[in-house]
Structure 1
C-alpha cells in the first residue's frame, strides 16, 4: 500500500517533494525545525534529514533527484519512522537556544552550530529530561571551544583597531596596484569539453587539468581587470557586447560586480546578509563575514588574524580566488550559467553540452510540475504588486543568482584550501549550486503564493453580540 502521505501513482517524484510531504505528516512536534508553512527548513534538510536519516551514500536508491513509486514510499516510511527522534531533536534545539540566550552567546547561526548536535543528543538520550540543562551547557561550551574565537564578533573586534585598519588598507592598495596585467585573451571555449563530460557515467575529461595548467581562470580574471574603458578607448562597446560568453545580453563579469570593472576592495567593518553587495564588490569584512556565518566546522578555519591577512591577497587576486582549479571552475560555471534555460524558451531541453541538458531538464521539469512555477510566467496582472514578476525575472536571468552562489561556495573552499582535483569534483560543485538555486527559487515562489492566498481570503464576518 502507498504511504498515506504519498500519492498512489507510478510517476517519478522529486525527492525534495517526497521529503516535504513526509515531513508535514510528522505533525507539530517538529515545529522548531520547520518553516512558517510547515515544510522542513533548508538547513534541516541539509544538516539533518539528508546526511543523518536518508544517508544517500549508504542508500544509493535515495540518491537520485527523482524517485520511483517504490523508493518514494520507502523514503516516506523512513522519515516517518524517524518522527520520534526528530521531535526530540526539535526539543533539544529549543532548549539549546534558550540556554544560549541565557548565557549571552550571540556568535554564529544556531541552526548551523547546533542542529546536528541536537540530533546526536536526541539519538542518545531521547527527549530532554533530568540533567538536560547541564547537557545543553556542555554542548554550548564544546561549540564555543571548537570555534576557537573564529566568530563574526572576533572579526569585528580585530578590525576595530584603527592602526591595524590603516595598515590593511595600505596593503590592499599595494596589492591592487601590483596586480598582473592581462597577457592573453580569455578563452571559454575549452569549458564545453569539460561540461560535455559532466554527468556522463565513466566519462573522463582531461580538459579540466589542461585548463588549470594553462591558467584559464587567471586569464578570465585579468581580462575583467583590464577591460576598463580607458584601455579600449572608443571601443568600450566591445566590452558591453560580452563576446566572451557568446551572448550579447549578459555582462562579461556575469553579475559578480555591479561595476564595469571590479573596484579595489576596502577593509570594511560591518556586514548584513540582506544587503551584501556583489561578490567582487565586497570588503574584507563582508567576504569573511560570509565564511564565518556559513561554516559548520570553524575549527578547520585559520584564526581570524590569519583569515584577514590571507584575504588581503585573495581579494586582489584574479576572480578573488587563490587556487587555479577554483578559478577554472568559475569559467566552467559561467559557461554553464549563460546556457541555463529554466523556462524552456528554446522549445525543448537544449544546451551545447551534457551539463546544460542535465540542469535544464531538471529545472524545466520543476517548472512543469509545480503550479507555483507556472504562475510566475503568467502573462496576467501581478496581484501582489510585483513579487511574482520579480520571481519570473529571476527565471529569465538565472545566470545572476547562479554565479553569485557559485562564487561564494568556491570562496569558502579557497579559504579552507580545498581545491578541486578533477572534472568530477568540479561538476559536483556546479551541479550542487544549480540544485540550490532551483530549490531556493521554489521556496520563494511558495512563500509568495502563500502570502497571496492569505491576503485574498475574505475577512471574517463580525459576530453579533
Structure 2
C-alpha cells in the first residue's frame, strides 16, 4: 500500500517531495533506486526532473521548496508515471544485460541508458518478446555514437612507444617551464567575499569576475606548486585538501592503465587516469575531441595550474577550497576557517541529516561504538569532509574543462559548488544506510542462531 499523501500545511523541499512520491511507487522501479528505496541521484537528474517534472514547462515546480499546491502537483506527476517508470527500470536491466553480452565497458550505464530507457518505455511500454534485439541495437547505437572515444581506444593510442616517448618529453619540458609564485592572500580574500555573496537567491558579485579577470585561479595554482601551508585560510586541514598526497605535486606521468577503485588524488594522476575518468563518466562522448586530440591536450593541461586550462574553473577550485576548509557537519568548532553565507547554507543542510546527528552523538560519547567501529569510521569521515568534497569538485571541473564548458558567472559556479556538496552529503547518507542495513541483518542472524 502506498504511503499516505504528503503534508500540505507547509513548504517542503522539492527533493523530499520527490523521495516520498517515489517510495510510493513500490518495487517497480527498483533498478532506478538506491538500496534504501529512494531514487538514485542520476534518476532524479536524468529522468525525473527533465522528463517528468519538466521545470521549463512548469516553472512553479522549479523551486527548491514547494508550497502545498505545487508539492501535490509534483507528487501526482511522479505517481502518474509509475507504470512508465517500472517499464523504464525493466528496459535498463535489459540494456545492461545486452551491454555485458556485447563486451561494452566504456561509460557509466546510468548516464548512457537512463534517458534512452525512458524513451523505450514511452514508445513500447514494458519489454516484450523482441525486446532483446531492441536492447542490443540501442547499446550498439550508443557505443557507435562515441565515435571511438573509449577507454580501449585510449589504451591503443598510448601503447605506441613513439607517442609515449614524445608525450614524456613534452611533460618534462612543460613541468620545468612552470613559474611558481608565493602569494595568494588577495585570492583568498576575494574568495571569501565571493562566497558571502552565495547566500543570495541569485548569487552575483564583482569579486568573482575580478578573480577570473586577474587570473587568481592560475596564481593560486602556482602557489600550490611550491607550498600550500595555510593558503586555504584554515590551519587544521591538510595543505592540499586531498588534491595531492605529496608535499607538493610532482610531474605527471603518461601511465598505462587505471582502476576506479584505486585512483590516486586528482593532481597525482597520470594522463591515462585523468582521461580514463572522462571517458568513463561522460554522457556526451560524441562531443569530445578524438582520443589522439584528448591525449595531446591533456599533456599540457596536466602541467597547468590546478591541472586545468580554463581560468573560471580554476577560480572555482579556489572557491571550493575556501568553502571546504569551513565545512563543519558535526557542529560549530570543528572548522577553523570562519563562515560565509555559502558555509552557512551548506553546513545547516548537512547538520540536519539524521546520519550526521548520530555521528555527532558518537563523536562526543565516551563509550566505544557499539556497532563494532563500522559507523564510527563513517563518523570520522565527517571530521575531514574536505577530502571527498575537493576530489569530487576537481573531477567535475576537469570534465567541464575537457568539454570546453567554463563557468561564466557566479550563479553558475555556485550551482556546481553547492551541487558537489549535496552529492557528497547524499553519498555519505547512502553509506550510513548501507552500514545500518548490514548491521541489522547481522543482528537478525545472531538472534536466529540463538533461538535455533
1: CA distance, partners of 2:170 / 2:95? 42
Match 2:249 to one of 262, 269, 279: 262
Q: 1:41 to 1:452 in 2, by over 3 A?
A: same
Choose which of 263, 270, 283 in structure 2 pairs with 1:283.
270
Q: CA deviation at 1:68?
A: 4.4
- Alpha-carbon deviation of 1:109? 2.2
| CA distance in structure 2 between the aligned counterparts of 1:14 and 1:403, rounded to whole angstroms | 26
Contact preservation (8 Å) 1:212, 1:328: yes
* CA distance 1:341–1:59, shift in 2 (3 Å): farther
Alpha-carbon spacing, 1:266–1:384, altered in 2? closer, same or farther (3 Å): farther
Q: Secondary structure at the match of 2:248?
A: coil
The answer on whether the counterparts of 1:32 and 1:93 sit within 8 Å (CA) in structure 2 is yes
In structure 2, the CA distance between the partners of 1:461 and 1:434, relative to structure 1 (3 Å rule), is closer
Q: Which moved more, 1:206-215 or 1:161-170?
A: 161-170
Partner residue in 2 for 1:373:
356
Which residue, out of 303, 309, 312, partners 1:322? Answer: 309
CA contact (8 A) 1:6 1:18 kept: no
Report the alpha carbon displacement of residue 414 of structure 1 after superposing the two structures with TM: 0.5
Does 1:417 find its partner at 2:411?
A: no
Question: Structure 1's 83 and 164: CA in aligned 2 closer, same or farther, altered over 3 A?
Answer: same
Distance 2:357 2:451 in 1: 39
Summarize the Cα distance change of 1:381–1:9 in structure 2 as closer, same or farther, 3 Å threshold: farther
Retained in 2: the 8 A contact 1:351–1:357?
no
Cα offset for 1:45? 2.3
The answer as to whether partners of 1:196 and 1:353 remain within 8 angstroms in 2 is yes
The superposition leaves residues 13-55 of structure 1 with CA deviations (integer Å, 9 ceiling, x where unpaired) of 4433333332232222222222334332332222212222223
CA distance in 2, matches of 1:344, 1:351: 13
**Aligned equivalent of 1:245:** 232
Aligned to 1:376, what secondary structure does the other structure show? helix
The answer to whether the Cα contact below 8 Å between 1:93 and 1:115 also exists between their aligned partners in 2 is yes
Task: Verify the 8 A CA contact 2:324 2:389 in the aligned structure 1.
Answer: yes
Distance in 1 (alpha carbons) for counterparts of 2:118 and 2:179: 49
1:455 alignment counterpart: 442
Partner of 1:172: 171
Q: Distance in 1 between matches of 2:259 and 2:270?
A: 12
Q: Give yes or no for the alignment of 1:116 onto 2:103.
A: no
Which runs of structure 2 are paired with 1:208-247 in the superposition (5 Å)?
Answer: 208-227=208-227, 240=229, 242=230, 244-247=231-234
Q: Does structure 2 retain, via aligned residues, the 8 Å contact 1:86–1:119?
A: yes
- Asked if the contact 1:5–1:21 (Cα under 8 Å) also holds between the matched residues in 2, the reply is no
* CA–CA distance in structure 2, aligned partners of residues 93 and 279 of structure 1: 31
Within a 5 Å distance, the mapping from 1:353-372 to structure 2 comes to: 353-366=340-353, 370=354, 372=355
Paired with 2:195 and 2:95, the residues of 1 have a C-alpha distance of 44
2:384 is the counterpart of 1:397? yes
**Matched residues in 2 for 1:312 and 1:100: separation?**
32
Residue 343 of structure 1 pairs with residue 342 of structure 2 = no
1:398 is displaced (CA, Å) by 1.6
1:441 aligns with one of 425, 428, 436 = 428
Provide the secondary structure at the position in 2 that maps to 1:106: coil
TM-score, structure 2 as length reference: 0.91
Distance 1:70 1:92 in 2: 33
Q: Is the 8 A contact 1:199 1:427 kept in 2?
A: no
**SS across alignment from 2:393:** helix
**SS of corresponding position for 2:262:** coil
Deviations 1:255-314 (A, max 9, x none): 111111011111111111111111011111111111111110111111111111101000
Q: Which residue of 1 aligns with 2:395?
A: 408
Q: Does structure 1 conserve the Cα–Cα contact (< 8 Å) formed by 2:217 and 2:315?
A: yes
Aligned to 2:45: 46
Gap change, CA 1:170 and 1:124, over 3 Å in 2: same
How far apart are the structure 2 equivalents of 1:39 and 1:17?
A: 10
Equivalent-residue separation in structure 2 for 1:98 and 1:178 (angstroms)? 49
The change in CA–CA distance for 1:117 and 1:12 in structure 2 (over 3 A counts) is same
Assess if the C-alpha contact under 8 Å between 2:326 and 2:338 holds in 1: yes
Shift of 1:104: 3.0
Query: Unpaired segments of 5 or more residues in structure 1?
Result: 228-238
Considering only aligned residues, what root-mean-square deviation do their CA atoms show, in Å? 2.5
